[in-house]
Amino acid sequence: MKPPVLQAEGLRVTFPGKGRRQGVTAVDDVSLRIDRGETLGLVGESGSGKSTTGRAVLRLVPLETGRIHVDGEDVTRYRGAQLRRLRRQMQMVFQDPYSSLDPSAPVGSSIAEPLRVHEKMAKQARRDRVEELLDLVGLRPSHADRYPYEFSGGQRQRVAIARALALHPRLIVCDEAVSALDVSTQNQVINLLEDLRERFELSYLFIAHDLAVVRHIAHRVAVMYLGRIVESGPVERVYSQPAHPYTQALLSAIPVPDPKRRGAKRILLSGDLPDPSAPPPGCPFHTRCAYAMDVCKREMPAMTPVAGGGETACHLQTTGPTLAGRPLSEKEVPA
């Protein structure tokens, strides 16, 4: 059996504080696995640590602890040439394509940049590859000579995807890659990503705050809260039987096309995300959880398997009434 494209274990990323300000642990004990040809959705509120996790697996931010394996190879300590070789295999697509496209250069030049840096290619061969990449993402070869401002948001994102594909990567981290687009353009870009995944057996870490979008593209999903993964599992199970109260609240906020589930009660989260530089003790979600028990304020819940696949970090799975993906009734809510 082939090893996963990405296996990350126990990742911890802390940004040091400045002056009197406390340092912030943005990612804490995060483990992920992505198989070849698989899409893992990473969801959570803004500030939950999703983007930092994406950057950590690409080795773009320093790890305090943890290990990263790519195709079975431990890349945690890679430096210099090894790291540059690794970067060819793992690319990133951002929400704002301007962060990877030079606004003052024709897009063909931006797409060709990784080829200039990493490949010794003759000028004409590079131009041919750029045109091939534009064709792959549904744009015309002549678009290579246009500037980013001449494209719509969806077309710019296609250009950013073409650039990410230039070096034949195995994994692409899509960080809110469709969040700035309208719904119909979102669908077109998601269909494109799906086609490319099947065609090239690509794997995606698909980061988004919009759970409805993730449902359409991901095979498995991981839910982050305050730097930690609180639930993960196959999309079908997590979306139909969310086991963690935080996942339940996030899912209750998205429109449900199923008429039988329409009208299901929305679970409102009280308060804001706590300050990540001073996370609450015990379960990090206890300050906003309707089911919080005394143990939740003292002890961090461990990841526990959930019926139907995946796991969750919630004391209800072990010391309370087993959720197994079932929302507790009002009578079951701890006093």
Instruction: Give the Å distances, CA to CA, from 193 to 7, 15, 43, 47, 237.
Output: 22, 32, 18, 26, 23
Q: Which is nearer to ligand SF4, 126 or 315 (CB)?
A: 315
Specify which residues 203 forms β-bridges with. 171
Task: Please state the closest distance from residue 314 (CB atom) to ligand SF4, in A.
Answer: 3
Q: Which of 13, 291, 303, 310 binds ligand SF4 (CB under 6 A)?
A: 291
CB of 334 to ligand SF4, least distance (A): 8
314 is a site residue for ligand SF4 (CB under 6 A): yes
Tracing tokens 């073409």 back to the chain, one arrives at 162
Single-letter amino acid, residue 14? T
Please give the backbone phi and psi of residue 74, each rounded to the nearest 5 degrees, phi first: -75, 110
Question: In whole angstroms, what separates CA 273 from the centre of its chain?
Answer: 19
**286 sits near ligand SF4 (criterion: CB under 6 A):** yes
Shortest gap between Cβ of 315 and ligand SF4 (angstroms)? 4
When asked if residue 227 is in the footprint of ligand SF4 (CB under 6 A), the reply is: no
Candidates 13-21, 27-35, 150-158, 291-299 — which segment interacts with ligand SF4 by CB under 6 A? 291-299
Please say whether the dihedral angle defined by the alpha carbons of residues 232, 170, 50 and 262, taken in this order, is positive or negative. Answer: negative
Instruction: Report how many residues bind ligand SF4 under the rule CB under 6 A.
Output: 14
Of positions 144, 174, 251, 283, contacts ligand SF4 by CB under 6 A? 283
Q: Which of 226, 219, 165, 221 is nearest to 196 (CA)?
A: 165
Residues in contact with ligand SF4, shown as a per-residue x/- string from 239 to 268 under the rule CB under 6 A: -----xx-----------------------
Q: Which of 43, 296, 303, 306 binds ligand SF4 (CB under 6 A)?
A: 296
CA-to-CA distance for 312 and 320, rounded, in angstroms?
A: 14
Query: What angle is formed at CA 117 by the lines to CA 112 and CA 123, rounded to 5 degrees?
Result: 50
Binding site for ligand SF4 (CB under 6 A): 244-245, 283, 285-286, 289, 291-293, 296, 301, 314-316
